[in-house]
Structure 1
Amino acid sequence: MRICSIITSFTSGGAEMLVCNLAEAFAQAGHQATVLSLSDAAQVGNAPDTEAAMMARVRADGATALSLGLANRNNLPGGALALRRALRAIRPDVIHAHTARALFPLALAMPGVPVVLTHHNSRLSFPPSAFALFDCIVDSYVAISDQCEAMLRDHARKPIRMILNAASARFQAGQPRDAARRDPTILAVGTVSAQKDYPTLLRAARPLVEALAAQGRSARIRIAGGGPEFGRLQVQAAGEPVELLGACSGVDALMRQADLFVNCSLWEGFPIAMIEAAMSGLPIVATAVAGNREMVLPGVNGRLVPPSDPAALARAVVETLSDDSQYAALSRGALHAARRFSLESCAAAHLDLYRELTQSRRPRFAPSPLARPVSPCE
């Protein structure tokens, strides 16, 4: 099967990492997988070096990585023409858009093959009225959480398939952690955006560090993630005890070096980084918002705190790092919770959906029939 997955750009965001991981799994299963980005990273404010590393990794895993290089998202005719040319070269059996932005040029490109859309968030980034157009193009939607499914059911009129997110097996820890290090590292991972609400972590940082210092411990707080708003976060973080790492390709190593994972988002779909943290055996402190609530079970694998509450966030982090028996139990719970999110199961569920859709529709980009039989000697 020829599978074309479309993303906005090659960046270290969770959705993009999932798509690249799935492309690897598809290729290993014998399928022709292509990851196609609408824009170059620099055109949308992301890091070109991260883009280069991700594209190289996709290709090394046996899949194809391409970018349309669309600089102007409002130029729909130009975008549709570029997309149509790319699709004629790829000749996909199924197209999976992981960004709603792809559906507008797809509507003009008229691909003639099954189209799937995953909206990787519990909030819409476009007017709900756009679903009237999407339903004309999309054969099936994919929901990644209960909240995302509820949102799609409110607006979409095509079938919806629930497929849980997943993370790479390279994050998998062999054993749970017995206790946090004496000088612990607190890690947050995700694209720098208003959704992630890193300013709340900045405000929690100093009281958190001071509380642990009173125990004779030196805490390290790290934020891994880039994006168009990274420069603003650098200004806000000036003078705060927080390390801003920018976009990182070695997040699995950062997880192994960390003692606790923090998510302070205002809303979520189902964060890939949180799955990676659980697979790494890290207890999780997260805001009690959609997506996070489906992953974090208080007292089992982490703690939930109100959003935009730095005092509650700092208190939960300190308490988790200060009780060794509770910490060990939460680490065991994290590894247990992570079992639901294997990449193999996620890839298999996607392939099942693609097979169902391709069996009911004939691809438009089929090879042109030969005008006459050709002898092997010609």
Structure 2
Amino acid sequence: MRICSIITSFTSGGAEMLVCNLAEAFAGTGHDAAVLALSDAAQVGNAAQTEAMMMQRIRQAGARAFSLGQANRNNWIGGTLALRRALRSFRPDVIHAHTARALPLVALAMPGVPVVLTHHNSRLSFPPAAFRFFDPIVDAYVAISDQCAALLKGHVRKPVHRIENAANTRFRAAAARRKSAQDPTILAVGTVSEQKDYPTLAQAAHLAVRALAAQGRTARFSIAGGGPMLDQLKAGIADAPVALLGVRDDVDTLMRQADLFVNCSLWEGFPIALIEAAMSGLPIVATQVAGNREMVVPGVNGELVPPSDPATLAQAIVGIVSDDDRYAALSQGALRTARRFSIENCAAAHLALYDQLRPRGRRHRRMSGAAIRDIPA
């Protein structure tokens, strides 16, 4: 099967990491997979280094990765022509858009194959009325969480398929952790944005560092992630005991070195970083918002706290790293939870959906014409 996945750009966000993981899995099972970005990373304020790393990973797995290089999202003619050339070359059996921005271009390109859309958040970044435009283009929707499914079902008339996120196998730990280090490292991972609410983490870090200092311990807080708001965050938390690591391509190593994972988001879809943390055997403290609630079970693999509540967040962090028995139990629980979110199961569910849609696609008008050019491999 030829599968074309479309993203906005190659960056370290959860949706983009999932697409990268899936492309590797598809290629590993003999399918011809391609990941197409609408824009170069630098054109939308993302790190070119991350883009290069992700494209290399995809290509090394035997899939294809390329960008249309669209600097202006309103350049419908140029974008449509670029997409049409790419699709004529690759000739996909199914197109899976992981950004709603791709749908107008897909509609104008008229590929004649089934189209799937995944909405990766529990909130909309566009008016709900836009779904009236999406429905004639999209054959099926994918929801990554119960909240996302409920959101979609309230607005769309096409089938909604619930497929859970998954993480790369390189995060899998061989065994659970016994206790946190004497000087624990608390890690957060994710694009620097309003959604992630890192200022609350910075406030909690002050409180947790003081509490652990009273035990003779030195806590270290780190945030791995970049984005256009990184400089703003640096200025806003300059006096906080938090290291801003920027974009990293060794998050699996950072998680192996960490003692606890924190997510303090104001809203979520279903964070892949939580799955990566659980696979790494890390106890998790996360805010009690949609997506997080479906992953973190209090007393089993971590704790949930109210959003925008630094005192409660700090208390939960200190409580876990200060109790060896509780810490060990939560680490074991994290590994058990992670087994449910394998990339193998996630890829199989996507392939089953694509296969289900293909008979419909054969009745569609397929794109005609010889290949314009080879897509870079």
TM-score normalised by the chain length of structure 2? 0.96
Q: Secondary structure, in 3 states, of the residue corresponding to 1:21?
A: helix
Q: CA deviation at 1:84?
A: 1.1
Q: What is the distance in 1 between the residues matched to 2:189 and 2:333?
A: 20
**Runs of 4+ that moved beyond 6 A:** none
Query: 1:345 aligned to 2:345?
Result: yes
Q: Is the CA contact 2:283–2:301 (under 8 Å) kept in the aligned structure 1?
A: yes
1:16-47 per-position Cα deviation (integer Å, ceiling 9, x unaligned):
11101100110011111000000000111100
Tell me what 2:323 maps to. Answer: 323
Using the alignment, how far apart are the partners of 2:143 and 2:236 within structure 1? 34
User: Corresponding residue for 2:89?
Assistant: 89
SS at match of 1:188: strand
Q: CA separation in 1, counterparts of 2:167 and 2:365?
A: 33
Q: Name the SS for the 1:157 alignment partner.
A: coil
Given that 2:196 and 2:264 are in contact with CA atoms closer than 8 Å, whether structure 1 keeps it comes out as yes
Whole-Å Cα distance in 2 between the matches of residues 235 and 79 of structure 1? 37
The structural deviation recorded for 1:225 is 0.4
In 2, the alpha carbon distance for the partners of 1:77 and 1:157 equals 29
Gaps of 5+ in 1: 370-378
Taking only the aligned residue pairs, the percentage that are identical comes to 72
SS of 1:155's partner is coil
- Report deviation, 1:274: 0.3
Correspondence for 1:32: 32
Aligned residues of 1:141 and 1:158 also touching (Cα < 8 A): yes
Q: Deviations over 1:265-312 (max 9, x none)?
A: 000000000000000000000000000001111111100100001111
Q: CA deviation digits over 1:91-126, x for unaligned, max 9?
A: 111000001111121121111100000000000111
d(CA) in 2 for partners of 1:145, 1:249:
26
Match of 2:52?
A: 52
Q: Residues 112 and 367 of structure 2 are in contact (CA less than 8 Å); yes or no, is this contact kept in structure 1? A: no
Q: 1:238: which partner in 2?
A: 238
Instruction: Count residues in correspondence.
Output: 369
- Which AA in structure 1 matches 2:57? R
Structure 2: runs of 5 or more not aligned = 371-377
- Alpha-carbon deviation of 1:367? 6.8
Residues 94-243 of structure 1 correspond to what in structure 2 (within 5 A)?
Answer: 94-243=94-243
How much has 1:364 moved relative to structure 2?
Answer: 4.3
2: CA distance between counterparts of 1:236 and 1:331? Answer: 33
What pairs with 1:263-302 in structure 2 (closer than 5 Å)?
A: 263-302=263-302
Give 1:360 shift: 2.1
* Counterpart Cα distance in 2 of 1:106 and 1:179: 51
SS of residue in 2 equivalent to 1:186: strand
Deviation at 1:239, TM superposition (A): 1.7
User: What is the SS of the residue equivalent to 2:73?
Assistant: coil
One-letter amino acid of the structure 1 residue matched with residue 69 of structure 2: G
The equivalent residue for 1:20 is: 20
Please state whether the residue corresponding to 2:304 is helix, strand or coil.
strand
| Residues in 2 aligned to 1:366 and 1:289: alpha-carbon distance in whole angstroms | 43
Partners of 1:120 and 1:81 lie apart in 2 by: 27
Q: 2:88·2:367 contact (CA, 8 Å) conserved in 1?
A: no
Q: 1:2 and 1:23 mapped to 2: Cα distance?
A: 11
Q: Give the partner amino acid of 1:51.
A: E
Residues 364 and 58 (structure 1 numbering): CA distance in 2 closer, same or farther, change over 3 Å? farther
What is the identity, as a one-letter code, of the residue corresponding to 2:76?
L
Q: In terms of mean alpha carbon deviation, does 167-176 or 74-83 score higher?
A: 74-83
The question of whether the paired residues in 2 share the 8 Å contact of 1:88 and 1:365 is answered with: no
- The root-mean-square deviation of aligned C-alpha atoms, in Å, is 1.1
In 1: Cα distance, 2:325 partner to 2:306 partner: 25
Is 103-112 or 15-24 further displaced after alignment?
A: 103-112
Provide the rounded CA distance (Å) in 2 between the counterparts of 1:277 and 1:81. Answer: 41
Task: Trace 1:349-360 onto structure 2 (pairs within 5 A).
Answer: 349-360=349-360
d(CA) in 2 for partners of 1:90, 1:361: 16
Report the alpha carbon displacement of residue 78 of structure 1 after superposing the two structures with TM: 2.0
Q: Which amino acid aligns with 1:151?
A: L
